[in-house]
Amino acid sequence: MLLYYLRHLTLHYCLFCPIFALSELRLCLERQDFFCAESRLDSLKQISDSQRESLRAEIYLQKAVSHDQNKQYREAVYAIERAQSILPENAQISVRLATAYLRNHDFYDAISIIERIRPQLSASDQYSAALILAQSWMRLENYNAALNELRHQEYQSRGSKELYSLMAICYIRLSQPESALDVFERKLKHTGSLSSEDQRLKHQALQYISLRDKYTTAVSSSFRVVMLANQNSEALRIYLEILDRAYMEIGRVLDYYPKNYTRVLFLSREDFSEYTRIESEAVSGLHDSASLDLLIPWEKVSQNQERSKLENVIFHEYTHHLLNLMTKQARNIPLWVHEGLAQFLEPNQDQALMHQFLKPMIKKQAYYKQDMPEGITLHASAFQFYVQAHSMIQFLANKGWLSELVRYLPQLRADLTFADVLIRTTGMNMTNLIEAWAESLREGYAD
C-alpha cells in the first residue's frame, strides 16, 4: 500500500516531466487500458500540439488492434477512422484504414482512400495498396481492373506469392488459361514454389486448353457454355433455356445478378473426373469457388427424365454460384443454408421421397438437434443432412422468414454473424429453430 501511495505521489508531482508521463502512457497502452492512456495524454502539459495529436492517433490505432483481436472489426474501422481524422496526411494510417475497409467489405471506400493517397506512398506501401485495390476489384467482379493493378506492381514485387496467385485467378475467371499458366511459370521462377491451390488451378487451366479439341464454346447474354462438339444445336438450346430460367428465377429470389459471364462446362464423366480429380459417380455437379465455373458431368440431353434431372443440377449449382458472388466470397454462410437453399430452389422436387425420409428421422429424433455440421462428406449421414437442410429452408419459407434472411446474407461478416441474423429474422437461436422445425413436422406426421 505504501508503494502505491509513493507511486501516486510521484506521478502527481512529475506529470510536468514528459519522459515520465510518456512512460506511464506506454504502460497503459501495453495493458490496453485506453481510458488510462487518454488520461495520461491529457495530463501532459509540456508537449507540442503535433506531438499530442500523434499520441492520440497512436491510442486509436492501438484500440483498433485490440478490437481486431476481439473480432470487433467494425469498431476497429471506427478507431482507425478517428486516427486518420487526426492525421489525415499520414499515408500509413490511410493504408491501414483501407485494409480495414477491405476486410469489412467496404470495397468502394477502400478503393477511394487508396486512390486519394497513392501519390504519397512509399515503394513498400505501393505494393500493399495494389493488393488492396486488386482484391477490392475482384470482390466487385471487375477482374480487368484488378489485373491492371497487379501487372503494374509485378516488376517491383516479384517475390510476392500472393500477387501472382491473384493474377492467375483473374486470368482464369476471364477465360484466359494461357495467361494464367504464364503467371504460374513466373511465380515458380521468382518465388520457387506453387501452393497446392496453385497446382489445382494450373491443372484446370491445362485441362481447359486440352478440351478445345473436342469441345466447343457458345456465348449467350449471361453464360459461356462449353459443350461436346458433337452435340447438336438442340442440346445447346436446352442448355441455354435452362440456364436462362435459372438466371431469372434464382436471381429474383436472391436479388442478385452476376456482372460477368458465368462459365458452365458440360463435360463427359471421364473428362469431369480428369478435370476435377473427383472419381465419385455420386457427384452430379460442382461449383468451383476459385474459378467460379459450374462443372457438370453431362453427355445426354433429352426432353424427358434426363432434362428434369439436369434442371435440378443446374439450378442447384447456380444457386451456390450466386450465393458465393453476393456475399463477395466471404464463405460465412452456414453449409446447411447453402445446401438447403440450393435444394429448395431446384424446380423438380420429389416431396413424397423427402417426407419418406423425414418421417422416421422426426419420430426417432434422429436429426441434428443443435448447430448443423460445418462440413459433410459424400457419405457419413450426408443424405440426412441434405434432407434436414432442405426441410428447414422450407420451414423458414412457410413462416415468411426466408426472404428477410436472404436480404441479410450479403451483410454477413465477423461483426454480423449468421447467428445474429437468425435471431433478427426469426427471434430464435439455432437450437430453438431446429426444435420449432421438428415440432412442426411432428404435428404433420402424427398418426
d(CA 266, CA 224): 11
| Residue 311 · residue 285 · CB < 8 Å | no
Is the pLDDT at 17 greater than 70? The verdict is: no
pLDDT tens-digit readout, 214-273: 999 999 999 999 999 988 888 899 999 999 999 999 999 999 999 999 999 999 999 999
Is the pLDDT at 114 greater than 50? The verdict is: yes
Check the CA dihedral 135-137-138-139 and report its sign: positive
User: What pLDDT does residue 271 have?
Assistant: 94
d(CA 248, CA 221): 12
d(CA 345, CA 319): 8
Cell numbers representing residue 350 in the block: 420429389
Q: What is the rounded average pLDDT of the residues 156-165?
A: 88
269's CB contacts (< 8 A; 6+ apart) are 281, 297, 299
pLDDT tens-digit readout, 31-76: 888 888 888 788 777 778 888 888 888 888 988 988 888 878 888 9
pLDDT tens-digit readout, 176-216: 999 999 999 999 999 999 999 999 999 999 999 999 999 99
DSSP for 150-208, written as a single string: HHHHHTT-TT-HHHHHHHHHHHHHTT-HHHHHHHHHHHHHHHS---HHHHHHHHHHHHH
User: Residue 22 belongs to what H/E stretch?
Assistant: helix 18-30
DSSP for 257-324, written as a single string: --SSPEEEEEE-HHHHHHHH----TT---EE-TTT--EEEE-----SSHHHHHHHHHHHHHHHHHHHH
User: What pLDDT does residue 352 have?
Assistant: 86
Residue 307: C-alpha distances to residues 39, 114, 303, 351, 445 (Å): 72, 49, 6, 19, 33
User: What pLDDT does residue 30 have?
Assistant: 80
Q: What is the rounded average pLDDT of the residues 85-93?
A: 90
Cell numbers representing residue 53 in the block: 495529436
> In this structure, which topology does domain 327-447 adopt according to CATH?
Neutral Protease; domain 2 (1.10.390)
The chain-wide mean pLDDT, for the chain, equals: 87
Grid look-up 448447430 returns: 371
Is the pLDDT at 327 greater than 50? The verdict is: yes
> Domain 214-326 classified CATH 3.10.180.10?
no
Is the pLDDT at 337 greater than 70? The verdict is: yes
CA-nearest of 328, 335, 324 to 393 is 335
Cell numbers representing residue 341 in the block: 437453399
> What strand order describes the sheet that includes 262-267?
215-219, 223-228, 262-267, 294-297, 286-287
Look up residue 244 and give its amino acid: D
Is the pLDDT at 362 greater than 80? The verdict is: yes
d(CA 294, CA 386): 20
Is the pLDDT at 13 greater than 60? The verdict is: no
- CATH 1.10.390.10 domain range(s) in the chain: 214-326
pLDDT band at 302 (very low <50, low <70, confident <90, very high): low
pLDDT band at 19 (very low <50, low <70, confident <90, very high): low
d(CA 182, CA 172): 11
- pTM (two decimals): 0.85
DSSP for 204-266, written as a single string: HHHHHHHGGGTEEEEE-SSEEEEEETTS-HHHHHHHHHHHHHHHHHHHHHHT---SSPEEEEE
